[in-house]
Amino acid sequence: MRNFICSPEEAAKVIERGAVLMVAGSEEALAQLPKGSWIGGTSVYFMTDQGGMVDKNRVFCSEIDEASAARVVALSVDELPSLAQGRAQNGFTGLLIPAFSEAHTAFAMEASRYEGLFEQPVVGWIAGVHLDEIGKRAPKVYNGATGEAFDDRAVAIYVELPEELQPNVDIVSPFEQGDSDASSFVFDEDGFSATSVVVDGKRVNLAEHIASHQIDTRLPLVANYAGALVNVSISAVSDEKGEVSFYAPVTAGIEYRFAKPIDCYASSFADKIRGDGSKSFSCNCVLNYLYGDLEGRSTGAFTGPATFGEIAYILLNQTMVHLEFDKAA
């Protein structure tokens, strides 16, 4: 794996020599790229070896030079459940989905039930736009094989690896659940929003509870899935509607706690990450970028786009996802 930020012209030369790529950039930058073995998703926020930056003119490329073959497809909402069926015998799936689309919602709510999903790594991101353009411009994903751009479906690249390589995906979050005396939150329904919630055994209005307890909504709700901590980030709190919306769906019956505050995002990531990030695919959440004031700051050797959601099999928030290749046993 080789990660680098470059001009569209430089990326075009890499594509034209037959490289297999996952590419992030603005719509204008991605539209300049020629057809080839790549997929792309809009983002203008990047973590680079010089630190976090916003760049509308260049693209961030993850070149998968370990690939022995690759196949690119576009997937409609109805086709997403068959995601695992197109994969190679040994390899992984790169998946990009435009934010705010029906495909985004469907994947977030249903991916954990896709047949065969967890049998081979699936990694990628939710494409976004500059925060000033939310509601004014739709995020897009690109099928590099055909040159098509979509704001209503996903694109996937099925990457085949040599038998001697084993792909491994990992998630890194700077957050931990609140202490045992912190309140627990249990929801009745899966969804991207909620009004009522059971807090420490008592049903309350979530928006009112957040306001009355002065909870910092930059901190995510965190669930513990057998040792794996999964974040659900707060999108908005509507006092008028008494409703809280999320960037990923909460799951009914699961116990959540708000995360402990952290002093420094950048050092928290650097402390938890091991390995050579220059040889791994990775992406991080734009909320970490913003709340952690990561512009100009490094999170270690792991570089990539800052996104509107991270994919490691399922949709994640405020998390770094990375994929690396190890020698097979």
Task: Please provide the average confidence, as pLDDT, over all residues in the chain.
Answer: 94
Find all residues with CB under 8 Å of 2, minimum gap 6, and list them.
61, 62, 63, 65, 278, 279
Distance between CA atoms of residues 291 and 268, nearest Å:
13
Q: Residue 78, class by beta-carbon neighbours within 10 Å (0-12 exposed, 13-18 middle, 19+ buried)?
A: exposed
User: pLDDT at position 275, please?
Assistant: 63
What sign does the dihedral 9-147-279-268 (CA atoms) show? positive
What sign does the dihedral 195-197-203-204 (CA atoms) show? negative
Tokens representing 314 are 């399922």
Distance between CA atoms of residues 279 and 276, nearest Å:
6
User: pLDDT at position 321, please?
Assistant: 94
User: pLDDT at position 274, please?
Assistant: 64
Distance between CA atoms of residues 104 and 126, nearest Å:
8
Percent of the chain with pLDDT over 90: 84
For residue 142, CA distances in Å to 28, 34, 149, 235, 322 come to 12, 11, 4, 26, 21
Whole-structure pTM value: 0.93
SS (H, E, C) 199-245: ECCEEEEHHHHHHHCCCCCCCCEEEEECCEEEEECEEEEECCCCEEE
Ranges of the chain whose pLDDT falls below 70: 270, 274-278
Residues paired with residue 316 on neighbouring β-strands, in sequence order: 310
Taking each continuous run of H as one helix and of E as one strand, the counts in the chain are 6, 27
List the alpha helices (DSSP H) in 95-188: 102-110
User: pLDDT at position 271, please?
Assistant: 74
Q: Are 64 and 159 in contact (CB under 8 A)?
A: yes
SS3 88: coil
**Listed residue (258, 320, 326, 266) closest to 292, CA to CA:** 266
User: pLDDT at position 182, please?
Assistant: 84
User: pLDDT at position 277, please?
Assistant: 66
Q: β-pairing, 122-127 with 91-98? A: parallel
User: pLDDT at position 272, please?
Assistant: 73
